[in-house]
């Protein structure tokens, strides 16, 4: 257990999970927290990272910073996903070792598992067969990260633990129409389609002023707005989503991921992540999820119902589906003392309310 005055560096503290971990630590009485924005500290720069560790000398590190995105971004920016994530991990984990950090928690992703892994996916499924093509570069980077944690701990006696969250969503999510994950992108698309369907141009313009799309904001003409939104399948009478809607996905509320992460950081040591009887110590990472799944089509219909969009839901089957199923086996996590509580219907409601509140706060009348 870390002392309440321990200095904890949360890399990526402004992101979806990092911000939730930061708040969770504060709520538990850990106030000696260090966070730097990308502008303040470029984690791709090894000299800057070394200087940061030289100055701050953290007792513990949570590596929640990463270059992330959905299928479209993973396909388009393959080099960025592998290079930037490897570089971030190399710099932060390397400096943590050189500065004798007592505890490190690395956040990965369940996309590390093979495309056709047996379901639900146990930690032992890692590297058993080929990865999903659409996110292979990102997955390889995350596998490298968890193996760095495992290897440093085995060779040098470090206390570095890797957790692999399933699909996350929640406050501070990314709603970019190209680079966001499936659920926030779905919520924004259906929200905008509803606004168009009801002729609520103020709501459409408020949304685009907060998050412009390809240079188009709320000050542009109606035609320019309609054209750019149509490019993402958003129209007055319908929303078109990628793929067939048949893949099964597991979704975890980000604040619960944060709670699980902090639970592991405070209560789990590397020696707890494997059996002492193992002849070969591997797969020491921990799956974090709900152990429950829902089809992309069903979650889209859940979002449609929550938002109240009366138009059509269409699917573009020429676009990739990604991995058919990605259900985690969370037995290891349960045995380590943590279970989820927020179910998907409640989570969708919470996220849409958060999204709408953000637009209202940023566009209050003067």
Say how far apart CA 245 and CA 7 lie, in whole Å: 45
For residues 132 and 124, give the distance between their C-alpha atoms in angstroms, rounded to a whole number. 17
Q: Which CB contacts under 8 angstroms, 24+ apart, belong to 297-305? A: 297/244, 297/245, 297/246, 299/182, 299/183, 299/186, 299/249, 299/251, 299/344, 299/348, 300/186, 300/190, 300/241, 300/245, 302/344, 302/345, 302/348, 303/183, 303/186, 303/187, 303/190, 303/348, 303/352, 304/190
Distances (CA, A) of 222 to 151, 156, 219: 56, 61, 9
Which of 9, 77, 138, 274 does the annotation list as catalytic?
A: 138
10 Å CB burial of residue 92 (0-12, 13-18, 19+) is buried
Give catalytic status of residue 30 as yes or no. Answer: no
Q: Is the dihedral of CA 70, 74, 77, 80 positive or negative?
A: positive
Q: Which residues are catalytic?
A: 138
């Amino acid at each position: 257990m870390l002392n309440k005055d321990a200095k904890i560096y949360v890399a990526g503290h402004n992101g979806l999970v990092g911000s939730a971990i930061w708040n969770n630590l504060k709520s538990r009485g850990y106030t000696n927290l260090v966070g730097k924005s990308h502008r303040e500290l470029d984690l791709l720069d090894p000299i800057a990272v070394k200087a940061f560790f030289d100055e701050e000398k953290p007792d513990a590190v949570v590596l929640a910073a990463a270059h992330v995105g959905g299928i479209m971004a993973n396909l388009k920016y393959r080099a960025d996903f592998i290079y930037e994530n490897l570089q971030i991990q190399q710099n932060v984990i390397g400096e943590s070792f050189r500065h004798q950090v007592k505890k490190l928690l690395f956040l990965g992703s369940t996309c590390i598992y093979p495309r056709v892994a047996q379901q639900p996916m146990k930690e032992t499924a890692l590297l058993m067969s080929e990865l999903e093509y659409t996110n292979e570069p990102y997955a390889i980077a995350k596998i490298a990260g968890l193996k760095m944690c495992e290897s440093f701990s085995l060779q040098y006696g470090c206390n570095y633990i890797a957790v692999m969250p399933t699909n996350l969503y929640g406050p501070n999510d990314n709603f970019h129409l190209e680079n966001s994950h499936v659920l926030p992108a779905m919520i924004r698309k259906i929200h905008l389609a509803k606004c168009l369907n009801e002729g609520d141009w103020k709501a459409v313009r408020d949304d685009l002023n907060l998050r412009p799309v390809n240079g188009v904001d709320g000050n542009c003409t109606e035609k320019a707005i309609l054209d750019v939104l149509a490019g993402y399948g958003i129209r007055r009478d319908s929303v078109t989503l990628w793929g067939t809607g048949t893949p099964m996905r597991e979704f975890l509320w980000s604040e619960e991921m944060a709670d699980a992460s902090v639970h592991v950081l405070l209560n789990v040591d590397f020696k707890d992540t494997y059996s002492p009887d193992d002849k070969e110590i591997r797969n020491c990472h921990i799956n974090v999820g709900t152990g429950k799944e829902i089809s992309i089509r069903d979650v889209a219909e859940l979002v449609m119902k929550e938002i109240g969009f009366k138009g059509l839901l269409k699917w573009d089957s020429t676009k990739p589906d990604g991995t058919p199923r990605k259900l985690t086996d969370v037995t290891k996590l349960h045995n380590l003392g943590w279970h989820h509580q927020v179910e998907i219907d409640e989570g969708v409601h919470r996220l849409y309310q958060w999204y709408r509140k953000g637009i209202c706060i940023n566009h209050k009348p003067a």
